[in-house]
Structure 1
Amino acid sequence: MIRLGARGNLFLATFVSMIDFWVWNDLGPLSSRYSESMSLSSSQSAIMVAMPVLVGSLGRIPAGALTDKYGGRRMLLVVTIASIIPILLVGYFGSSGNYVALLASALLLGVAGTVFAVGIPFVSAWYPPERKGFATGVFGAGMVGTAVAAFFTPRFDNWFGGMQTHIILAVVLAVTAVIVFLGASDAPQWKPQTDPFLPKMWATMKLPVTWNMCVLYGLVFGGFVAFASYLPTYIATIDVYDFDPIQAGSRTAAFAVAAVVARPIGGMISDRVPPKNVVLVSVAGTAVFAALVNMQPKPEWQAGLVFGGLAFFLGIGTGGVFAWLSQLAPANKVGSVTGMVSAAGGLGGYFPPLIMGATFDEAGNNYHLGLTLLVITAVIILVYTAMLVPAADPTRRVSRPGAKPKEGAST
């Protein structure tokens, strides 16, 4: 086994997250092709895209708790290996045109999305309090896998064919599992938590930080997941932008990259200023740019700037929320709180595609109602956060940059 330090394990976990996010977002870039080959309605296509998000969201709750008990190294390995069969099934049933079986396979594919609840406590344990924003922000950049999926998956499908593309992804997962086995290790100070699962979940649910962060992450990360998965369908719609799958994939990849770049920025800024301020800016920017998206700016530059701005504000929010969480959550419950919060983020990405599909105006060929609901939701959460969510827990002292943690403090 190769012994890596904090930085090595951080970048290894980020790489694993990127691969698992690629697999988790496999269906989004192929949605328009599957919709055409299977003659799916807008609602059926939205359900197909949303299926992995559902399991990837709810599965984060037990994944976070299991990470507290068994460690991030084991769980990264389990999640990666467990994603191999589902990606092959998605390729097979997608190529054969079996919609019902494809939905069932897409549900199983959601296991790849649980990687986030594993990686956050894994990398957080390697760093002291004043560097946790940096660590979780860098790890969060693994969501660049959505950009990789949007850019490469439709091209692989065009070059090699549907089933061959998914075989390639299965091989990539297998290689990644070997890398984790040989290179990853839990932090020296990490200790397994042996508390029973249900009482621990109940204790986690009673923490105010859990619900406050669930609301915020449901918007910022949920918004990112929703756009990253549904954007290929949205911008391929006639009278919206009418791009072909490869063009739509390239633009979705650019959106994802903008959010990925912004995430560690949000985390690092949150190490220096109160994370609440970062999150408030994020939510306000999300409301403004969602309203601009609803005005359907013209391609390429106007639309590019608007979508890029939306991605940026969502991205800094995702970094800010987890920097805030790492300051407020009890050290022995970081994994459990992370699981709950990241599940809420995933669920925040599950419902919008369904709403967009259900509220699609076939006569006007637009999604104005769904986007308007996003703006309203962001404004409500902005007011809630500003007025009701505390900036910090007054009973806890958080180390600032340059300060030494107290003796015996958890890192």
Structure 2
Amino acid sequence: MVNFWAWALLAPLAPSLAQSMRLTPVMQGLLVALPVMIGSLGRVPVGTLTDRYGARTMFPLLSLLTIAPVLVIGHFGRSMPVLLIGAILLGTGGTTFAVGVPAVNAWFPRARRGAALGIFGIGTGGTAIASFTTIPLVKALGPTAPFNTVAVALAVVAVLCWALLRDPADHVAPAESMIRRTVDTLRMSVTWQLAILYALTFGGFVAFSVYLPTYLKSAFGLDPADAAFRTAGFIVLAVLARPLGGWLSDHLSGIHVLGGCCVLAGLFAILASIELPLMPIGTVAFLCLAAVLGAGAGAVFALVGRLAPVGKVGAVTGVVGAAGGLGGFFPPLVMGSIYGAVGDYTFGLVLLAATALLCALLAYTALRRRAAE
């Protein structure tokens, strides 16, 4: 949660940064999307390294490494080059998801992994903390306050992880090299199927968590503080729905839970694309979309726990997690480009709806056959 808090620090500030630095919609989208992209791609090697070295080593290390970009952005981010470099390095915080999933997976029996991984997934609510606290801290204590606060929190987490985390006694480091394990993981069809579905569910959540403040300001004229607060509500609901998706997958068919969430995501995206008044229909559409995306993300990793080969959960998690983050990287750029070209977001939301319905088809066909093997 703390690492994801750091990962999302730039998103609430994006509208004000765009205004003060006169950024185009595309540049603003790039600024908030860069941490997402780097944090996503970094999950591939981090997941493989976690299989080898364990969470007790990787969690403190990554938490400490994330402190540097947080302080650089907070104290020196007054120019676009510094902000872009800081945004790239800030992606380190997002890689920690690939540490926690194999760690949790190793401590729980198969029948309880969905719920356990869903509870771990609540940590993605760190993005909500960023939305709730960043602008109030800036207004109350100055522009460096949120960054100093997060840097201290990361240092505390690193110490606590080293002191309290343990790897299972039967943990065996794989003999293959990181490259070989990554290649083997990429050759498995189930890796790609789960990656595509996570790109929609978690990617959609990430995309809205970083771009919704901009969307609400542009489409409905909200001020940055109000937009950030509403975004935090979206994030909280998606995060709380994640354990529900995992729990349902433990007790029902994970395929049906995931496929149903994809269908509902498509329907709610279509409703949102109409851009009805924000109160109440627009708000209902986005909150329902948050719930089904969160539950769908929980269902995906319940299936990872069941379908990934023993000893490769970290590697599969890395690839699937990377896909989820990349699924959140492109929508802000697409939405910014569409709005810059036509002054409207409708087509971008229609694309989301079409993608969600295609993902439902994938879940009910190829992934269903894989689960039945």
> TM-score, normalization: structure 2?
0.97
Aligned partners of 2:259 and 2:361 also within 8 Å = no
TM alignment of 1:376-387, pairs within 5 A: 376-387=354-365
Aligned partners of 1:275 and 1:391 also within 8 Å = no
TM alignment of 1:139-178, pairs within 5 A: 139-178=120-159
Q: Distance in 1 between matches of 2:280 and 2:154?
A: 36
Q: Tell whether 2:236 aligns with 1:257.
A: yes
Q: Tell whether 2:366 aligns with 1:388.
A: yes
Secondary structure at 2:113's aligned position in 1? Answer: helix
Aligned equivalent of 1:372, options 340, 350, 354: 350
TM alignment of 1:48-87, pairs within 5 A: 48-87=31-70
C-alpha deviations, 1:257-314, integer Å up to 9, x for none? 1101110000001001110001001100110111111111313332221111000000
- Residue identity opposite 2:36 in structure 1: V
- Residue identity opposite 1:316 in structure 2: A
Q: Distance in 2 between matches of 1:181 and 1:193?
A: 22
Secondary structure at 2:220's aligned position in 1? Answer: coil
Cα offset for 1:205?
1.0
Aligned equivalent of 2:303, options 324, 331, 335: 324
| Larger helix proportion of the pair | 2
TM alignment of 1:290-369, pairs within 5 A: 290-361=269-340, 365-369=343-347
Cα offset for 1:65?
0.2
Counterpart of 1:277? 256
- Residue identity opposite 2:298 in structure 1: G
Counterpart of 2:83? 102
Q: Distance in 1 between matches of 2:120 and 2:198?
A: 16
Cα offset for 1:378?
1.3
Q: Distance in 2 between matches of 1:307 and 1:23?
A: 24
Report the count of equivalent residues.
Answer: 373
Q: Distance in 2 between matches of 1:55 and 1:380?
A: 26
Cα offset for 1:394?
4.5
Aligned equivalent of 2:188, options 190, 207, 210: 207
> TM-score, normalization: structure 1?
0.88
Secondary structure at 2:278's aligned position in 1? Answer: coil
User: CA-atom RMSD, angstroms?
Assistant: 1.3
Counterpart of 1:221? 202
Counterpart of 1:191? 172
Query: Which ranges in structure 2 are unaligned for 5 or more consecutive residues?
Result: none
Q: Tell whether 2:17 aligns with 1:39.
A: no
Aligned equivalent of 1:90, options 73, 90, 108: 73
Aligned partners of 1:133 and 1:271 also within 8 Å = yes
Q: Distance in 1 between matches of 2:212 and 2:94?
A: 18
- Residue identity opposite 2:361 in structure 1: V
Aligned partners of 1:73 and 1:122 also within 8 Å = no
- Residue identity opposite 2:308 in structure 1: A
Cα offset for 1:382?
1.8
